[in-house]
Amino acid sequence: MIRSVPPLPAATAERIADTMFALSTPSRLQILVCLRPEARTVSEIVAAVGMEQSAVSHQLRVLRDHSVVSMRRVGRTRRYALSNDHVGALIDDALEHIRALERSRARERSEAQAG
């Protein structure tokens, strides 16, 4: 018997796609990975990622506009953090997904060489 899956409401699908769009450029992923352990300031992100300050600021705005990253003012400094643990989980799972793919590909290759 085929299990029926209720379709995603169109608006929800749109919102998920928007969220995934925020994760869809290499530089934004670098920033997100850098924010994974803890909240950071722009200059800390710049130092960690090795991109220009203006580029980091721009990408942070995109990430905030998509509610993936949140900003908090502490005194005069602004600290950026992942909006919640789910964003962190998304990044972790994406990383795991890539690693799993690479592992299985490596296994196939070694089997082909052995056989």
Partner 1 sequence: MNAPAFAPAADRRNALDRAHIGDIEGALGTVRAFDTGPRVTSRRKLATLLAVLGPGVVVMVADHDAGTISVFAQAGQNHGMRLLWVLLVLCPALYVTQEMVARLGAVTGSGHARLTLERFGKLWCAFSLGDLMILNLATLVTEFIGVALALSYFGVPRYVSAPAAAILLVAMTATGSFRRWERAMCVMIAANLTLIPLAVTSHPRAASVAAGFVPAVGNGAAGSTVLLLVALVGTTIAPWQLFFQQSNVVDKRITPRWLRYERADTAIGAVMFAACAGAVLILSATVAAAAGPHRPFTDAGAVAHAIGAHLGVGAGGVFAIALLNASLLGAGAVSLSGSYAIAEVFGVKHSLHRRVGDARAFHASFAAIVALAAGVVLVPGLPLGALTTLVQALAGILLPSTLVLLLILCNDEQLLGPLTNGRALNAVGAVVVGSVLALSTLLTLTTVLPRMPFAIALAVTLALLLAAGVVLGASNVRHRRPPRAGASLTPWQRQTWTAPMLELVAPATPTRPRLLALALLRAYVALIAGLLLLKLAGVLPG
Residues that bind partner 1 (CB under 8 A): 17-18, 21, 25-27, 54-55, 58-59, 61-62, 65-66
Query: C-beta of 60: minimal distance to partner 1 in Å?
Result: 9
- Give the residue with the Cβ less far from partner 1, 65 or 93: 65
Q: How far is CA 13 from the centre of its chain?
A: 18
**Contact status, residue 91 vs residue 32, Cβ threshold 8 Å:** yes
- Give the residue with the Cβ less far from partner 1, 17 or 95: 17
Query: C-beta of 1: minimal distance to partner 1 in Å?
Result: 32
Q: What is the DSSP letter of 67?
A: T
Q: Counting beta carbons within 10 angstroms of the beta carbon of residue 51, is it exposed (0 to 12), middle (13 to 18) or buried (19 or more)?
A: middle
